[in-house]
Each structure stands twice: as structure tokens, then as C-alpha cells.
Amino acid sequence: MADSIHPFYALHRDAMEAAMRERLALAATLFSTRAQLLHVDAISQEIMQEFQTVLTQLPDVGGAENRMSDFFMRLIGFLAIGRVLRRHAVPLQVIGEIERDTYQAQLLAAPEAERLASGRQFLSLQNQAVLREQAASSATESHRQTFPADFAYEFVEPGPNDRFAFGINYTACGFCKFAARHGDEEILPSICGLDFVAYAARGIHLERTQTLAGGASHCNFRFSQLVPDEGTP
């Protein structure tokens, strides 16, 4: 019996596949010039086939009720890209660069006004209140038992001398759990690197000095308004 896709992700499958096809079109030149791969069309087809496997592996973390479901839907395809590129002996650093630049191009294709409005909403006091509630819920024993593959995190209030708007400390990472379950630890850091371009595209500066994937006790995200002339890290 073939593996099935969780109903929540099945509902969004068409949109996720469309995003992957768009991503691969943007990455095609990079597969050739940076990864030195021949037969780029065949590579893209192999990635889409791997993406179908990834879809069946996506864990239930609460569906529409959990903001982290969207993180899985937006980023899990990069693990499919990483798996295939590693099979073709592409260096890890090159994989990370290709994924970062492809994702940045995809994000920046959206109208700037929409992206910056999304960033302002993320930094808003209203959203901070929502994040506080979700952070508290993510750390409860009942949530961990119901959704063992989910993230767990703490909301961080800025101190009087801090320059960030707020922070999040991720004490458990859904992508780390996924990678450990499916043997993707080697390519996991490429997913971590996407966070910087994702937030910068919305006018948000992300400062992070450690990650769970790198062996730290938590990922220390700190968010602030991006200075207009400040480039993407």
C-alpha cells in the first residue's frame, strides 16, 4: 500500500506543487552553473519525484490551528532539493547557496508593498500577543504528546538595553525531528539558512547566533525592523 499524505497537506498539495515547480524554474540555471550538473530537466523531474515522497512524510503538527504547519509547507520542498543534489555529489555549501538564492528570488517576486505589510503585521503588538499564547501552548505536555513532531518555543521579551522588538527561542525544532527520522541531518543546515532571506524579504532583520541543528540548546531568533539600506545576511 502506497504511503498517504496527511489530509491537511493533501488539501494544499496543488499549491505546494506549483510553488515547487516555480522554485525549480528559478533554480535551473544554478543547477547548471553552480552545481555543474548536466541534464537539468532530468534533475528537476527527479526532485519533483522526491517531493512526492516528502509529502507523504510530513507530520501532523495541528493543521491550520498551528502556525508551524505553514513553515513545513513552505520549506519542506528544499529537503527534496537537497536530497537529490547530494545524490549527485553536489557540495553542501553549494546546495545551501542554491536554495538560499532560489528562495530569495521567489520571495522577491511578490509585490514589495505586500511583503512589507506582512512584515509589519509580524512585528505588530497584536501578533506578539498571539505568539505569546502559541509559545505557551507549544510547551505544554498535552501538546507535546498530541503533536510529538512539532516545534516548541518560548517568547522572549526585550530587556531595557536590547535593540530587538521581540525574540523566540525554539527549544525543539520540527525540521530537526524530521531530519533525524528520515536521515536528512547532513542537509538540514541549508533549511536553517533560509530564515534570513525569508524575514528580510518582509523588511525584518533576523539576528540568530545559534541553532539546534548546530548542536545548541535552542535557536535564538531576535527580530527587529530592517534598516532600509541593510542587505540580506
Q: Check pLDDT > 90 for residue 231.
A: no
Whole-number pLDDT of residue 229: 63
pLDDT in tens, 184-229: 999 999 999 999 999 999 999 999 999 999 999 999 999 999 987 6
Whole-number pLDDT of residue 71: 93
Whole-number pLDDT of residue 151: 96
Model confidence, pTM: 0.92
Give the type of residue at 13.
R
122 pLDDT band, cuts 50/70/90, is very high
Task: Annotate the chain with three-state secondary structure.
Answer: CCCCCCHHHHHCHHHHHHHHHHHHHHHHHHHHHCCCCCCHHHHHHHHHHHHHHHHHHCCCCCHHHCHHHHHHHHHCHHHHHHHHHHHCCCCHHHHHHHHHHHHHHHHHCCCHHHHHHHHHHHHCHHHHHHHHHHHHHHCCHHHHHHCCCCCEEEEECCCCCCCCCEEEEEEECHHHHHHHHHCCHHHHHHHHCHHHHHHHCCCEEEECCCCCCCCCCCEEEEEEECCCCCCCC
> Which grid coordinates belong to 78?
528544499
The neighbour count for residue 224, using CB atoms within 10 Å, is 18
Query: What mean pLDDT is predicted for residues 107-120?
Result: 97
Query: What mean pLDDT is predicted for residues 114-136?
Result: 97
Determine what percent of the chain is predicted with pLDDT higher than 70.
97
CB 169 within 8 A of CB 74: no
Q: Check pLDDT > 70 for residue 87.
A: yes
Query: What mean pLDDT is predicted for residues 139-165?
Result: 96
Whole-number pLDDT of residue 95: 98
Distance of CA 227 to the CA centre of its chain: 23
Give the separation between CA 77 and CA 201, rounded to whole angstroms.
Answer: 19
Q: Check pLDDT > 50 for residue 233.
A: no
Please tell me which residue, 28 or 1, carries the higher pLDDT value.
28
Average pLDDT of the chain to the nearest whole number: 95
Q: 198, 194, 199, 195: which is closest to 224 by C-alpha?
A: 199
pLDDT in tens, 97-111: 999 999 999 999 999
Whole-number pLDDT of residue 70: 95
1 pLDDT band, cuts 50/70/90, is very low
Whole-number pLDDT of residue 230: 55
Which single residue is written with the C-alpha cell 536530497? 83
Query: What mean pLDDT is predicted for residues 25-41?
Result: 97
Q: Check pLDDT > 60 for residue 83.
A: yes
Give the separation between CA 81 and CA 69, rounded to whole angstroms.
Answer: 20
Give the separation between CA 54 and CA 71, rounded to whole angstroms.
Answer: 14
